[in-house]
Amino acid sequence: MDRELIVVLDFGGQYKQLIARRVRENHVYCEIHPHTIGLDKLKAMNPKGIILTGGPGSVYREDSPTFDPAIFQLGIPILGICYGSQLMGHLLGGEVKTAPTSEYGHTECVADAEGSLLLHGWEKTSTVWMSHTDYIAKAPEGFTVTAHTVNCPVAGMENRDKNLYAVQFHPEVVHTTEGEKLFHNFIYDICGCRGDWKMSSFAETIIEEMRNKIGSDRVLLGLSGGVDSTVTAVLLSKAIGKQLYCVFVDHGLMRKNEGDEVEAVFGPNGQFGELNFIRVNAGPEYFDMLKGVTEPEEKRKLIGNKFIEIFGAEAKKLAGSGGFKYIAQGTIYPDVVESGLGQAGAVIKSHHNVGGLPHDLVVELGFDETPVEPLRSLFKDEVRKVGIELGIPKNLVYRQPFPGPGLGIRVVGEVTPEKVHIVQEADAIYREELEKAGIDMGRGQFFAALSNMRSVGVMGDHRTYDYAVILRGVITSDFMTAEAAEIPWSVLQTCMNRIINEVKGVNRVMYDLTSKPPGTIEFE
């Protein structure tokens, strides 16, 4: 049975990933493609439906993104959102103007047409999320207006004969109270989807695809122990077994016992021990390199460059025993989308190099220019679901987010083995007590850091002059903004008492209340 697909055409909208997530939450596979994709390529995908995103442009300006108007003659159900609705209206002969009054944020919306397919089951009046300066002043011929607000006469419209639907508001954000109903109506009632896409079927499909792509060749993966690389390793292990080689560079800057936990899963006696696992204990090299270094960005660069050096050296050793055709990496869908996709929106970040290795080293080792990326089409929460389906231990699948440079940037100032040990112990106590208290750590990021401040304290009858540990806990949905978590005072007191009593070298514990912005989530 063919996999059903809904395509999101991106016109620069900031919520494009959220639209794709809403579709996938309805168990239908969804991909984001740039508006420059072209009609023939779009048709060849045979989508069950198409969604046109929002965007910062104005449809009546010549330099604004557009698409071949023939898209509206395909008979494929199309949903336009915000800019996408205006583009539909403009290309089909409606009238789009600068709104006399712009609408931003929570807005009361009235559903007008009882027979609307898209808004079926909606409350007569509900809250929607608006973000627009232009609006559709007049709907194209053949369209029925299905919703309005005080300042927007065409907040929703549809032409059922041509399977065209549009809304000025953003149904993908949680602030639109009836948004889930809208997506359900579009996906099931309008597009006629079955909704049978799930993680187990994804894993089976990708394992078969990887097996066919790789054949009898060997693959090298830099295994960090993070969620993405762990799931990548297990998928490839199930696809090609002993043809996969995993190099785990333990830089000595991981959390308490994490290096051993990774080896316990992937080492020769582990659950997935059928692959070739190479652990490089490089802690002493890293600590020697970091002596006297205090600036955070310099630490990041040094740690990253040292990884390339060590991983590259191991890759050369292994290549001497037969060579590799592919390097694998745990690229996930946000990495791909944030690279720009060629769309009208801004590039958020450049996509990382093949396996993190310099191009000349990739060429020297004879790797294929295109890496193996089994998770390329998945969001982070979907990667975790695949991990559970594959039987990976929950402590690895739901591992707290961890920066690439590890504790190197959670130690303020110079990094030493003694300071890293303090952070490891304090962090383990903190997370243990949060778990005991039933704090949901999956809603954000929780960790301990070590300040560079030492102060006088009293323990027993003795004067101390020791460090202050900072506890950090934030709640966030996107990691772009964050608020400090409201951890009960009694839990924080327990953490403080245990850390001071059990971790040598600490006489103060503080809780960081700073939001992002102005602060960052990490403490560096």
Would you name the residues annotated as active-site residues?
82, 170, 172
Read off the DSSP letter of residue 372.
B
Residues 6+ apart with CB under 8 A from 16: 8, 10, 32, 53, 337, 343, 345
How many angstroms separate the CA atoms of 117 and 301, rounded?
A: 54
| Amino acid residing at 521 | I
Helices (H), 198-257: 199-214, 227-240
Would you say how long the chain is, in residues?
524
Buried (b) or exposed (e) across 234-263, using 16+ Cβ within 10 A? bbbbbbbeebbbbbbbbbbbbbbebbebbb
How many angstroms separate the CA atoms of 124 and 160, rounded?
A: 20
Three-state SS string across 30-43, please? Answer: EEEEECCCCHHHHH
Structure tokens, 86: 């205006």
Say if CB 480 and CB 470 are below 8 A apart.
no
What's the CA angle centered on 494, arms 490 and 498, to 5 degrees? 170
How many angstroms separate the CA atoms of 500 and 494, rounded?
A: 10
Structure tokens, 303: 């740690």
Strand 156-159 relative to strand 164-167, pairing: antiparallel
Helices (H), 78-157: 83-91
Strand 144-148 relative to strand 95-111, pairing: antiparallel
Question: Is it true that the peptide bond before 518 is cis, omega within 30 degrees of 0?
Answer: yes
How many angstroms separate the CA atoms of 414 and 408, rounded?
A: 9
Say if CB 59 and CB 134 are below 8 A apart.
yes
Say if CB 222 and CB 356 are below 8 A apart.
yes
How many angstroms separate the CA atoms of 410 and 299, rounded?
A: 11
Structure tokens, 39: 């009609």
Buried (b) or exposed (e) across 152-176, using 16+ Cβ within 10 A? bbbbbbbbeebbbbbbbbbbbeebb
